[in-house]
Copies of this chain bind each other. A is one copy, B any other.
């Protein structure tokens, strides 16, 4: 189990490399929801997303323990940038396996951090084979995007800061995070359990990638009935590890449609002047959809990132 100590050690380990991102509020959105919302702005984090935390916590330890001569992962999203960024901090080469269909802007971001991009076919099999090839060739260590205790402990540090900066004197009634593979959600729920046990953790998930809610109910890692959502960071299924933590420490999972996600994203852009990616808008969409459930509550929201393609906006 991931202890409070290991999360606090992660925070101390990564602190020199990350931003302490601000916690922002907005009167209009409070009025519109009937709740008091505190947005932990990880869109301002290094690489534009909370994933920098988990990548750093894992890779700083790989380097300190001399576990390998290089780092590898497969990702088409923010984890690719997080690994490339973290590997550069410790001076290790990084080999990122990316589907050839990934946006050019994301490949360029990874290259910009000095990593090597290995293109593969856009299937999970091809991605995993690509990583095996890299390991055989270079002796690299795999840093999985979420099925890794060090990554989870790193993601858990955002909630330390949220609670320190806005969780007093009145504690949060609820802390919310979106759920994809569950690395952020399980970390968020662990930190909340340790530091603010009176607070409920509630997750939010797109209807078009509704696997976590099924797994949460059945206790087995389930696949989504279908995958079709604007929230491109949330398409992954849980792992056994993240599901176990989530079943123990998360109170509920709510689902929202792409229309509701887009409306919530637009509300944050227009009223808070923050660029957030669709995945980041999923918790607010769930609050707007379930106002009665959240009325009068003090709610913390992890805003996961701000990496969007400005040429392909949904509005």
Contacts and interface: CB of A to CB of B under 8 A. Distances in A.
A273 B311 contact: no
A63 to B, nearest CB: 21
A274 interface: yes
Contact of A313 (B48, B266, B306, B313): B313
A310 B310 contact: no
A315 B313 CA distance: 10
A22 B24 CA distance: 10
Interface in A301-315: 306, 310-311, 313, 315
Contacts of A24: 44
Interface residues of A, number: 18
A275 interface: yes
A125 interface: no
Interface string A239-266: 0000000000000000000000000001
Interface in A43-87: 43-44, 48
Contact of A273 (B266, B274, B313): B274
A310 B266 contact: yes
A276 B24 CA distance: 17
A209 to B, nearest CB: 23
B269 A43 contact: no
A77 to B, nearest CB: 16
A310 B315 contact: yes
A288 to B, nearest CB: 18
Contacts of A266: 310
A175 to B, nearest CB: 22
A5 interface: no
A164 interface: no
Nearest to A306: B273
A273 B78 CA distance: 15
Interface string A22-55: 1010000000000000000001100010000000
Contacts of A276: 273
Interface in A263-291: 266, 269-270, 272-276
A169 to B, nearest CB: 21
Interface of A: 22, 24, 43-44, 48, 266, 269-270, 272-276, 306, 310-311, 313, 315
5 contacts: A44-B272, A269-B275, A270-B310, A273-B276, A311-B315
Top 7 A-B pairs, shortest CB-CB distance: A273-B306, A273-B275, A43-B273, A310-B315, A269-B275, A44-B273, A275-B275
